[in-house]
Chains A and B, each alone.
Chain A
Amino acid sequence: MQPHEVFLQQLITGLSNGMIIALIALGYTMVYGIIELINFAHGDVFMLGAFLALTLLGVLGMEAWSPTWRIGGVAIMLVGSALFCGGLNWTLDRVAYRSLRRASKLSLLVSAIGCSFICTNLGLFWGGVPMEVFAGGVAAAAPKDFPQLIPQTNLLGASAIRITPADIAVVVVTVPLMIGLVFLVNRTRMGRAMRAVAQDATAAALMGIPVDRVIGITFFIGGALGGFASVVYALYNNTIGFQMGYRAGMDAFTAAVVGGIGSLPGAVLGGLTIGLVRAMSDQYLETQWTNTIVFGMLVMILIFRPSGLLGTTRREKV
Chain B
Amino acid sequence: MSHSMLEVSELRCGYGPIEVLRGVSLRVEAGEIVALIGSNGAGKSTTLMAINQVIRPTAGVVCFCGESMLGLRPDEVVARGLVQVPEGRRVFARMTVLENLTLGAYLHSDGHAVVSEMHRVHDLFPILKERQSQLAGTLSGGEQQMLAIGRALMSRPRLLMMDEPSMGIAPILVTRIFAAIRELNQDGLTVLLVEQNARGALKLSSRGYVIETGAVTVSGESSDLLNDDRIKSAYLGE
Is B83's CB within 8 Å of the partner chain A? yes
Residues A206 and B84 in contact in the complex (CB < 8 Å), given A196-B92, A199-B92: yes
Q: Is the CB of B86 within 8 A of A208?
A: no
Report how far A166 CA is from B178 CA in the complex, Å. Answer: 65
Interface string of B76-95 (1 = CB under 8 A from A): 00110001101000111111
Q: Is the CB of B75 within 8 A of A210?
A: yes
Residues A210 and B73 in contact in the complex (CB < 8 Å), given A192-B102, A193-B106, A196-B103: yes
Report how far A205 CA is from B75 CA in the complex, Å. Answer: 5
Is B47's CB within 8 Å of the partner chain A? no
Report how far A208 CA is from B54 CA in the complex, Å. Answer: 12
Is A195's CB within 8 Å of the partner chain B? yes
* Residues B88-113 near A (CB distance < 8 A): 90-95, 99, 102-104, 106-107
Interface string of A121-136 (1 = CB under 8 A from B): 0000000000000000
Q: How many whole Å from A190's CB to the nearest CB in chain B? A: 10
**How many A residues have CB within 8 A of the partner chain?**
19
Q: Give the chain B neighbours of A206 by CB distance below 8 A.
A: 52, 54, 74, 78, 83-84, 86, 90, 152
Q: Is the CB of B86 within 8 A of A207?
A: no
A189, A199, A200, A211: the one contacting B75 at CB < 8 Å is: A211
By secondary structure, the A interface counts as helix
Q: Is the CB of A193 within 8 A of B103?
A: yes
Report how far A114 CA is from B73 CA in the complex, Å. Answer: 29
Residues A203 and B86 in contact in the complex (CB < 8 Å), given A193-B103, A208-B106: yes
Q: Give the chain B neighbours of A299 by CB distance below 8 A.
A: none
Q: Give the chain A neighbours of B152 by CB distance below 8 A.
A: 206-207
Interface string of A181-201 (1 = CB under 8 A from B): 000000001001101100110
Q: Give the chain B neighbours of A312 by CB distance below 8 A.
A: 94
Q: Is the CB of B75 within 8 A of A208?
A: yes
Q: Is the CB of B90 within 8 A of A203?
A: yes
Q: Is the CB of A207 within 8 A of B102?
A: no
Is A150's CB within 8 Å of the partner chain B? no
Report how far A189 CA is from B107 CA in the complex, Å. Answer: 10
Q: Which residue of A lies closest to B155 (CB)?
A: A208
Is B151's CB within 8 Å of the partner chain A? yes
A200, A208, A212: the one contacting B90 at CB < 8 Å is: A200
Q: Which residue of B lies closest to A206 (CB)?
A: B84
Q: Give the chain B neighbours of A202 by CB distance below 8 A.
A: 54, 74, 86, 90
Q: Is the CB of A208 within 8 A of B93?
A: no
Report how far A289 CA is from B38 CA in the complex, Å. Answer: 65
Q: Is the CB of B94 within 8 A of A207?
A: no
Q: Give the chain A neighbours of B74 by CB distance below 8 A.
A: 202, 205-206, 211
Q: How many whole Å from A68's CB to the nearest CB in chain B? A: 42
Report how far A207 CA is from B102 CA in the complex, Å. Answer: 10
* Residues B8-23 near A (CB distance < 8 A): none
Q: Which residue of A lies closest to B154 (CB)?
A: A207
Report how far A211 CA is from B52 CA in the complex, Å. Answer: 14
Interface string of A56-73 (1 = CB under 8 A from B): 000000000000000000
Q: Is the CB of A207 within 8 A of B95?
A: no
Is A209's CB within 8 Å of the partner chain B? yes
Q: Give the chain B neighbours of A208 by CB distance below 8 A.
A: 75, 78-79, 83, 106-107, 155
Q: Is the CB of B90 within 8 A of A209?
A: no
Q: Give the chain A neighbours of B75 by CB distance below 8 A.
A: 205, 208-211
Q: Which residue of B lies closest to A193 (CB)?
A: B106
Q: How many whole Å from A316's CB to the nearest CB in chain B? A: 17
Q: Give the chain B neighbours of A195 by CB distance below 8 A.
A: 92, 94-95
Q: How many whole Å from B15's CB to the nearest CB in chain A? A: 10
Q: Which residue of A lies closest to B95 (CB)?
A: A195
Q: How many whole Å from A104's CB to the nearest CB in chain B? A: 13
Q: Which residue of B lies closest to A189 (CB)?
A: B106
Residues A205 and B99 in contact in the complex (CB < 8 Å), given A195-B92, A200-B90, A210-B75: no
Interface string of A103-145 (1 = CB under 8 A from B): 0000000000000000000000000000000000000000000
Report how far A196 CA is from B78 CA in the complex, Å. Answer: 16
Report how far A205 CA is from B72 CA in the complex, Å. Answer: 12
Q: Which residue of A lies closest to B85 (CB)?
A: A206
A189, A200, A205, A210: the one contacting B92 at CB < 8 Å is: A200
A-B residue pairs, 3 tightest by C-beta: A208-B78, A205-B74, A203-B90
Which positions in B face A, CB cutoff 8 Å? 52, 54, 73-75, 78-79, 83-84, 86, 90-95, 99, 102-104, 106-107, 151-152, 155
21 contacts between A and B (CB under 8 A): A189-B106, A192-B95, A192-B106, A195-B92, A195-B95, A196-B92, A196-B103, A199-B93, A199-B94, A202-B54, A204-B103, A205-B75, A206-B83, A206-B84, A206-B90, A207-B104, A207-B106, A207-B151, A208-B78, A208-B106, A210-B75
Known contacts A199-B95, A206-B86, A207-B155; 10 further A-B pairs (Cβ under 8 A)? A193-B103, A195-B92, A203-B91, A204-B103, A206-B52, A206-B78, A207-B78, A207-B103, A208-B83, A210-B73
